[in-house]
Chain A
């Protein structure tokens, strides 16, 4: 097995009485888009800051590229790019100059730097705004500039800390596409968000965090398989007897049935062709019904089942 690009063992971080990270463990392989999913305050940013050696921690060990990470690990830092949650650019420098400045912290060769800056501007689609000052950019464009500043030096490992917060849908799609492109070009991505749709869309593996703990880790499918609910079937129906509800409950893979406001909700666990089996039963009982929906579980369902609360609570 290859050495993980990031290895976090038993990490504990306290802010006085508050335990921000509680024996947190994590391993990220090279080439992944790894998602850290959790509500605000769950410890995602704290984890990243500890990995980057910006924050001190009380206990645990962190390795990046197979080496222990320290504040003076300049050889490791050279291979890392970070896009902070807060936009961190100079108001007095233009888009081009900002990217040039941050790229210059990593790349000394002027010609190469210039090339990288141009490529980063092209990558985030800011070609028409090169000479703009940050104050003149919209929220979405500012986020794109923030990303360009973090990735211009072509790092092998990129941390993106909630890069799509307060971003319009167009910019969000552009950002998500860009992240996937960076990954295809060879970068390993660590992506934090509380937007489960985004994480589900781009991440190859996901860790679900809450209260500083790693609750579950795996691919989207693996996480969904961890919970009992695998399919939700909703059927518009005028009326149904208690006997019929009890009979549906006895069908294979059905573990819960409820009827409210002319809607029949059937929860299934595993199995195939659940919808077909239920519709066949309704027909056999000559029960007339309207629209039928079948939903697969989301990461929110996973989070709900693990923690007992909604991801966005």
Chain B
């Protein structure tokens, strides 16, 4: 058995196509996913909106390119209302409250909303014309916003500014009314507005049972490893072909040797597991340590899922390899198709595919090895309990046992009707 193990391992390590598909391909595809998703993430990131602020004192009589009077303050900037309240009770509060809000929104940091330049109206219009800024905020009651209709690629930023000014003016107006008519209720009103801004006017509270990262993009990497595990079919197929005298001359030569077929098979299958597990392990190390993909913190369980995945992949190849007298290429074709369909349905190409399958054909996700492997990683990364993880592992092992038994039953035949 050790003899078969060593030589099979040597053969696998020297097969270029095995190294490519099982080692280089997952790493290359993982890198491509990483680059593609990084691009998406940077596109989605919010950048501070450059604006010019023109205070009343510096306003000049100039024709505007486009002026839109708006009334609002951003719901994000809740802290600002406290300063509005305090400034309302003071003289000249309007100017102070406006600049203090603008200043707080322009503070550098992850949540910086505005990139503000205090300037004169003339200079502001010049900046707008040069597209250095997205809009001009004019202090006053109401606060006004000027934008350029020529800056069509900044529609999103313009809309955000519009909403911000609208909210600011509306809240300012409301608080001013309360201050004039019901000054005793001003504090309560400000508190209510602040609370509303805090919660985003959402009275539902999200409670998560997750312990880790639920980034949807991670599932692509889980599916990538699942696909790599299924690629172990190539090793299983090779074992089958090398042990059936009617399928290869090598098998015929081995068949007339005094080595028991079961011993030979076990040695070769073990070598195949080791080789494929090594490939998956290297891929995982690359994804986790080099690309920084989070597979959770439980290394032992991650390795176990990968190992069981490899066992399932090898069993698939072994089983198909033992069926009938089809040629090697035909069997490779069948296995390639099966592995790609399983990977597709588990969400390798379309992230929501597994959810779709869950809706239309839920049982399939419980027998699809790619979905089970991918879901094992997902369960490790997301759930605190290991129930779902172990359920997946148990099903994978059960499928593998069935496939191995089927394969052994067909390989155990010792005489052939034709070679």
Contacts and interface: CB of A to CB of B under 8 A. Distances in A.
Nearest to B13: A92
A212 B258 CA distance: 29
A263 interface: no
A105 interface: yes
B418 A53 contact: no
Given A93-B10, A104-B3, A88 B250 contact: yes
A93 B419 contact: no
Contacts of B419: 49, 54-55
A71 B416 CA distance: 11
A77 B258 contact: yes
Nearest to A53: B415
Question: Which 5 A-B pairs rank lowest in CB-CB distance, beginning with the nearest?
Answer: A71-B414, A88-B249, A105-B257, A92-B14, A74-B258
Interface string A55-93: 110000000000000011011011010101011111011
B7 interface: yes
Given A90-B11, A93-B10, A54 B257 contact: no
A102 B256 CA distance: 11
A78 B253 CA distance: 13
Given A54-B255, A88-B249, A71 B415 contact: yes
Contacts of A75: 258
Contact of B249 (A74, A87, A105): A87
A293 interface: no
A55 B260 CA distance: 17
A170 B89 CA distance: 112
Given A49-B419, A56-B415, A102-B253, A97 B10 contact: yes
A102 B414 contact: no
Interface of B: 3, 7, 10-11, 14-15, 245, 248-250, 252-260, 414-419
A55 B248 CA distance: 14
Nearest to B264: A105
Given A15-B418, A55-B415, A105 B255 contact: no
Contacts of B415: 53-56, 71
Contact of B256 (A15, A52, A86, A93): A52
- Give the interface size class of chain A: 20 to 34
Given A54-B245, A54-B419, 7 more contacts: A56-B416, A77-B256, A82-B253, A86-B249, A92-B14, A105-B259, A149-B253
Nearest to A85: B249
A79 B2 CA distance: 22
6 contacts: A77-B257, A90-B11, A101-B3, A102-B257, A105-B257, A150-B253
Nearest to B3: A104
A54 B252 contact: yes
Nearest to A83: B253
Contact of B416 (A55, A77, A88, A93): A55
Contacts of B255: 54, 71
Contacts of B245: 54
Nearest to A101: B7
A72 B418 contact: no
Contact of A93 (B11, B253, B260, B414): B11
Given A55-B417, A84-B252, A97 B257 contact: no
A106 interface: yes
A311 B255 CA distance: 32
Contacts of B258: 74-75, 77-78, 105-106
B415 to A, nearest CB: 4
A149 B337 CA distance: 37
Interface in A90-112: 90, 92-93, 97, 101-102, 104-106
Q: Which of B3, B258, B417, B418 has the most CB of A within 10 A?
A: B258
Nearest to A70: B414
Contact of B414 (A15, A72, A82): A72
Nearest to B255: A54
A102 B15 CA distance: 19
A82 B10 CA distance: 24
Contacts of A89: 250
A219 B415 CA distance: 33
A72 B258 CA distance: 8
B242 to A, nearest CB: 9
Nearest to B246: A54
Contacts of B260: 74
A31 to B, nearest CB: 22
Contacts of A78: 258
A104 B10 CA distance: 15
Given A54-B245, A104-B3, A92 B10 contact: yes
A89 to B, nearest CB: 8
B19 to A, nearest CB: 11
B256 A80 contact: yes
B418 A55 contact: yes
Nearest to A56: B415
Contacts of B248: 88
B257 A93 contact: no
Given A77-B258, A93-B7, A93-B10, A84 B416 contact: no
